[in-house]
Amino acid sequence: MLSFFKDYKYFGIALLILSIIIISIFYNILKVDKALPIYQPANVNYELVDSSLIDKRKYHTISDFNLINQNGEIITEKNYENKIYVADFFFTTCQTICPIMTNHMYQIQNQTLNDDEVLLLSYTVTPEIDSVPVLKKYAKDKGVIDKKWNLVTGDKKQIYDLARKSYLAVKTSGAGDAYDMIHTENFMLIDKKRQIRGYYDGTKTEDIERLLEDIKTLKKEYQ
């Protein structure tokens, strides 16, 4: 009996190795990266969505816009045409979550610096305060690279509508004028069709890591 097992020992080892190789091949063939979801107003927190869109379940995209960046240049949706980008809402005088969010956006900037397919876009929610010179100083202080990251200001109603009707990203303040906003910690991942493909907590390191991985996943859709 012992001699029987001895005779077939090497055969068994070879069969085990072959089985592992075959299983690995099949795993890699069958393994398919899960596509990122496409977010619609109906499946986002209703507090972040304009009441006119709460029941919308398909075909949602980011609207056209026309704003001014930290260099006094007009920035429109054309600057982001055929690009993947990360968007957020902030204001320069914010001392709570904004510094953390800006530092994390800076991290994303550096991680994607040599990738021309990926850009960043930050909208101020206090355009009456955040003029072009203010944004320019803020950009310089925070290490913003102009070719990669636009900080934009402009018409408050337009920014409010973008936040509530396009990015589905901020809450209404309930005070002040009709277009006052309470910005949130949300980062949004936008694809080349101007669709929302992900929401992330811009204050959490683990969410930033997930966002960077999701950018890689999204890029594969265009390969």
**What DSSP letter does each residue of 64-104 carry, written as one string?**
P-EEE-TTS-EEEGGGGTT-EEEEEEE-TT--SSHHHHHHH
DSSP H stretches of helix in 95-204: 98-111, 132-142, 156-161
Give dist(CA 168, CA 171) in Å, integer: 9
Please give the pLDDT value at position 30: 42
CA nearest to 40, candidates 57, 61, 64:
57
**Residue 16 pLDDT > 90, yes or no?**
no
Are 84 and 2 in a shared domain? no
What rounded mean pLDDT belongs to the chain?
89
pLDDT tens-digit map of 53-95: 999 999 999 999 999 999 999 999 999 999 999 999 999 999 9
Give dist(CA 197, CA 212) in Å, integer: 13
Q: What does the DSSP 8-state code read for residue 166?
A: I
Please give the pLDDT value at position 27: 42
**Between 6 and 220, where is the model more confident?**
220
Does residue 36 belong to any structural domain of this protein? no
pLDDT tens-digit map of 145-166: 999 999 999 999 999 999 999 9
For residue 12, the one-letter residue type is: G
Are 64 and 158 in a shared domain? yes
Task: Quickly state the pLDDT bin for 107 (edges 50, 70, 90).
Answer: very high
- Measured from the Cβ of residue 150, the count of other Cβ atoms closer than 10 Å reads 25
Please give the pLDDT value at position 29: 42
Specify whether the CB–CB gap between 55 and 42 falls below 8 A.
Answer: yes
Please give the pLDDT value at position 143: 98
Are 113 and 61 in a shared domain? yes
pLDDT tens-digit map of 167-215: 999 998 766 677 888 889 999 999 999 999 999 999 999 999 999 999 9
- Structural domain of residue 3, as residue ranges? 1-31
Task: Quickly state the pLDDT bin for 4 (edges 50, 70, 90).
Answer: very low
Angle at 132 between CA 161 and CA 190, to 5 degrees: 40
Please give the pLDDT value at position 31: 43
Task: Quickly state the pLDDT bin for 99 (edges 50, 70, 90).
Answer: very high
Give dist(CA 77, CA 80) in Å, integer: 5
Are 125 and 20 in a shared domain? no
Please give the pLDDT value at position 26: 47
Are 96 and 4 in a shared domain? no
Element containing residue 188 per DSSP (H, E): strand 186-190
**Residue 36 pLDDT > 80, yes or no?**
yes
Are 2 and 64 in a shared domain? no
Are 11 and 112 in a shared domain? no
The CATH number given to whatever domain includes residue 197 is 3.40.30.10
Please give the pLDDT value at position 173: 79
Angle at 123 between CA 122 and CA 126, to 5 degrees: 135
Are 167 and 204 in a shared domain? yes
Are 66 and 15 in a shared domain? no
Please give the pLDDT value at position 97: 96
